[in-house]
Structure 1
Amino acid sequence: MSRIKIKDNSRIPKESLSDISLLTSKIADKTLEQLEKEGIFVFPEILRDADDITKDQMILQSVNNYYLSSNVMGFMGLGDEKLIIESRFSGNGQDFLFQYLLERVFDVPNIVDLKTDVNNDDRVFNLLVFIFPHYLKSAMRKGVFKTYVRKTYNDSNVKGTIDIARHIVKNTPFVGNVAYSQREYSFDNDLMELIRHTVEFIKYKPYGHKLLAQAKDAVKDVVAVTPNYEMCNRQKIIDANKTNTIRHAYYREYCELQSLCLLILQHQKHQIGMGSKKVYGLLFDGAWLWEEYMNSIVDEIFYHPMNKATKGSQRLFDHNRGLIYPDFISRDSGARVIADAKYKPIDNIGNKDYLQVLAYMFRFDAKKGFYFYPEMGKEEDAVMWLNRGSTYEKNVEAREDICLIKHGFQIPTRIDVYSAFTEQMRCNEIKFLDGILTSVK
């Protein structure tokens, strides 16, 4: 088995990936939209208005003798060839940061050991299972999926199409019943049955009940509308959903949930991608993970508009013009503060980043703005005061009332044990939040 690790946002010599040449030939220079169709599961969903992750983004882009990786982290495979994309902010040879971000953002049990190589496919599979409650709740917010299904009956109250062959088998000699079928608008359909099978499959995992408790109301609704559930029909339900995928734009969340359920349930029959020439994998947008993690720390003092979920949208101009999604807007309207989460080193924050946040500050009458970025060294906060004046009049000077602050979150390094890493991260979260509160006073 060939297994290679690389970092996100890095440059990789092509010869260093020669051991996984079949896999790289399948994924290099292909967009995320193309790879989704080949079995790669991308989280979060790719939306048109998303800034951090787009359909045109590539996992590996060829540039001369190198591959350039992007913001995406995760796992991919093709047969015995495996590629793991770690966070560039991970240290000491262990990608503890990626694991910790997943646990905090998705609120999953601490049982995914990303450094264990007992079975690389099981690691991917565990992550698929852990994000299931999130997708289930997202889909069920639109109500239980309902569609037309054909149901068969054998009684004297004929309402649909008579099934001659089935009638002969079941009603010879004739005793008054007729075998027939009819189309009905029902909650108990192939998709809801697929979700039910996934729920029942997860229940038998050691951590299953704790995981499903995160979506207990949605799980209860799924069980209630699938009275015809039978475990022996699992393969039949899988085949039906593979043939009839959800395509309506309104049910986009159900489409994503359907894909996830198929990946989870098919793992039971054959481990993901094993013995197959099809690429498989699970990818996460690093910038999105970092933003959502920051929100888990500062949510008590900041609003968090979300462009991917189209929630909390703001406008720059009147007549509903200039759609914007600032990452964070302080809840204190009297001394408004704007913050932007950046999954990049401090030296890479500049130019367009400055213009974006300054525009948000001007829109909300904010005197202070923040950049929340991961810090691996010991950089102090960089406070930048906005200039006034012009070089033409030679009167440029720093203002005393408007500033941007680069506020780094310290990422622990040189730690070999995940429990110690977690403990240090918890301490750093307190220090990070205290630094914000001190600055906004």
Structure 2
Amino acid sequence: MKELKIKDNALIHKKHFQEVANVTEKIVDKTLEQLEKEGVFIFPELIKDSEDISKEQVILQSINQCYRSSNVMGFLGFGNERLVIESRFSNGETDYFFQYLLECVLHLPNVVELNTDANQNHRTLNMLLFFFPNFLKKAMRKGLFKTYIQKKYNDENIRGTIDIPRHVKNNTPFIGNIAYNQREFSYDNDLMQLVRHTIEFIKKKPYGNNVLRKTKDEVATVVEATKSYKYFDRRKVLEKNLKKPIRHAYYREYRALQRLCIMILQHEKYQMGSGMNQIYGMLFDGAWIWEEYVHLLIGSDFYHPMNKGGKGAQRLFEGNIGLIYPDFISRNVDNRIIADAKYKPYENIRSSDYQQMLSYMFRFDAKKGVNLYPHNRETENVTGLRLNSGTTYENNVSPREDIIVYKCGLEIPCDCNDYNEFKVQIKKNEEQFITKVSNILNGK
């Protein structure tokens, strides 16, 4: 397996991509929407509702003699080549920061250092497997997926369309039975069979039972609903689901589950040599996962509107006009503060970010705003920017004392020997970060 690791939001010379020329050719200048249609798994699925990332975004853009990566992390594979996109805030051979975000936000265990199946190909499969319980839970909140299926019968109680060729084959000489087909509304359909095959596949892994433990009720429900399950039908079930993806908007969670199951069951096929002409992989919205991580740290003091889930929507104007989703709105009505999670370095928080922050502050009568960002410097103090009043024309520009926009960073540990050491260090840094945010909230 040939592998190249790059950072997100980076400009890299094209010569560095020679070892993975085939996978690069497959993804360069293609949008997220195009890659998604070709088999790449995008997380979260609802990227169309995001202000930070869109289906039109290009993952790897060709600019003269360089390629520019975008605001996503993850991996892309084609044949025996793999392109890994790591967080720009991590140093060293292993991206512990990205792994830590996945563990905190998506409750994934440390798939980077799993002792079983130690090679990189199996680490990729491990990541897919540990996503399965979350997707199964989300999908089954809407109940079991039910749809019409064609069932074949051969008895004397005709309830459908007679299947003449099958009747002649099975009922000659005639003994009273009639072969017929009937459309029935059933839980035991192609999609639920796909989920069942995925469950059985995971069970056979050494850690499979641990993966499925937190969804044991959902697993039991799926097993009960798929009584016609047969191990040797796996290939047929896969082909049917590939031909008929779930398209109804109401079942978008099942669509995401369907795509994940297909990736899990097809993964070994990719590694054994078949399916070599298809791109595959998983990509994660860096801005979204950073925002959700920050919410875990400061959520007790802030409301958290979520644009991807359509929750907590706010409006700028009367008449339901001007949809906005501030990242965080403090719960303290008397001393309202707006916080914005920025997955970018200190120096990249610029004019448009300030303008967005000030518009939110004006809308919610907040005197303070704070941009929350990651950094990998040893020391970085909180910076407060006071809003100017006056104009240069009248030569009376001066900073106001009542409106301040802060920059507050969380230090990401570097040069850690292993993942456990990284976790110990970042826990200490999180405490310092929470203290800095609390001081801003309390006016210290």
Matched, 1:78 2:73: no
Match of 1:88 in 2: 88
Match of 2:340 in 1: 340
- After superposition, residues 367-382 of structure 1 pair within 5 angstroms as 367-377=367-377, 378-382=379-383
Matched, 1:149 2:149: yes
Match of 1:414 in 2: 415
Deviations 1:32-54 (A, max 9, x none): 11111222211111533311111
Q: List alignment gaps of at least 5 residues for structure 2.
A: none
After superposition, the Cα gap between the structure-2 partners of 1:79 and 1:407, relative to the gap in structure 1 and judged at 3 Å, is same
Q: Which moved more, 1:212-221 or 1:245-254?
A: 212-221
Q: Which letter maps to 1:157?
A: N
Conservation of the 8 A alpha-carbon contact between 1:106 and 1:130: no
State the distance in 1 between where 2:272 and 2:288 align. 25
Q: Which letter maps to 1:415?
A: C
Once the two structures are TM-superposed, the CA of residue 194 in structure 1 deviates from its matched residue by 0.8
Conservation of the 8 A alpha-carbon contact between 1:273 and 1:280: no
* Partner SS for 2:113: coil
Once the two structures are TM-superposed, the CA of residue 2 in structure 1 deviates from its matched residue by 2.4
Deviations 1:50-70 (A, max 9, x none): 111111111111111111111
State the distance in 1 between where 2:16 and 2:368 align. 45
Q: List alignment gaps of at least 5 residues for structure 1.
A: none
* Partner SS for 1:254: helix
After superposition, the Cα gap between the structure-2 partners of 1:94 and 1:215, relative to the gap in structure 1 and judged at 3 Å, is same
After superposition, the Cα gap between the structure-2 partners of 1:322 and 1:218, relative to the gap in structure 1 and judged at 3 Å, is farther
Once the two structures are TM-superposed, the CA of residue 274 in structure 1 deviates from its matched residue by 5.8
After superposition, the Cα gap between the structure-2 partners of 1:137 and 1:333, relative to the gap in structure 1 and judged at 3 Å, is farther
Conservation of the 8 A alpha-carbon contact between 1:6 and 1:84: yes
- After superposition, residues 147-226 of structure 1 pair within 5 angstroms as 147-226=147-226
Once the two structures are TM-superposed, the CA of residue 217 in structure 1 deviates from its matched residue by 4.2
Deviations 1:73-108 (A, max 9, x none): 111122122211111111133311111111111112
After superposition, the Cα gap between the structure-2 partners of 1:117 and 1:393, relative to the gap in structure 1 and judged at 3 Å, is farther
- After superposition, residues 12-411 of structure 1 pair within 5 angstroms as 12-113=12-113, 119-271=119-271, 276-377=276-377, 378-411=379-412
Once the two structures are TM-superposed, the CA of residue 317 in structure 1 deviates from its matched residue by 0.8
Q: Which letter maps to 2:14?
A: K
* Partner SS for 1:228: coil
State the distance in 1 between where 2:156 and 2:335 align. 74
**Matched pairs, number:** 441
Conservation of the 8 A alpha-carbon contact between 1:124 and 1:282: no
State the distance in 1 between where 2:112 and 2:140 align. 26
State the distance in 1 between where 2:220 and 2:405 align. 48
After superposition, the Cα gap between the structure-2 partners of 1:261 and 1:275, relative to the gap in structure 1 and judged at 3 Å, is closer
Conservation of the 8 A alpha-carbon contact between 1:77 and 1:273: no
Q: Which moved more, 1:170-179 or 1:25-34?
A: 170-179
Q: Which moved more, 1:2-11 or 1:111-120?
A: 111-120
After superposition, the Cα gap between the structure-2 partners of 1:268 and 1:304, relative to the gap in structure 1 and judged at 3 Å, is same
TM-score (norm 1): 0.94
* Partner SS for 1:112: helix
State the distance in 2 between where 1:22 and 1:329 align. 46
Identity of aligned residues (%): 56
Conservation of the 8 A alpha-carbon contact between 2:270 and 2:276: no
